[in-house]
Amino acid sequence: MKMTRYKVVETQTVTDEDLEKVLNEWVGKGWTFDGIQFAMRDSSKRPAMAFVVFTRSEPSEESS
């Protein structure tokens, strides 16, 4: 049986170049991009940080 594993990468530099770097690094390691959550500042329209979420299927750890 397969199970879904999750990887969350936090970045405090929220630019297109930095997000591309995170995406390309983890997709290159076999993870599938799942989504991005942005944390906003009260005093700015720019995000303070981003959480990039990846998934991949792995064999279950259960012994048969």
Query: Is pLDDT above 60 for 63?
Result: no
Residues 6+ apart with CB under 8 A from 50: 10, 11, 14, 19, 36, 37, 38, 39
Q: Residue 15 has what pLDDT?
A: 95
**Number of helices followed by number of strands (H, E) in the chain:** 1, 3
For 12-62, how does the pLDDT look when each residue is reduced to its tens digit (9 = 90+)? 999 999 999 999 999 999 999 999 999 998 888 889 999 999 999 998 877
Q: Residue 42 has what pLDDT?
A: 87
3-class state of residue 49 by DSSP: strand
Q: Structure pTM?
A: 0.84
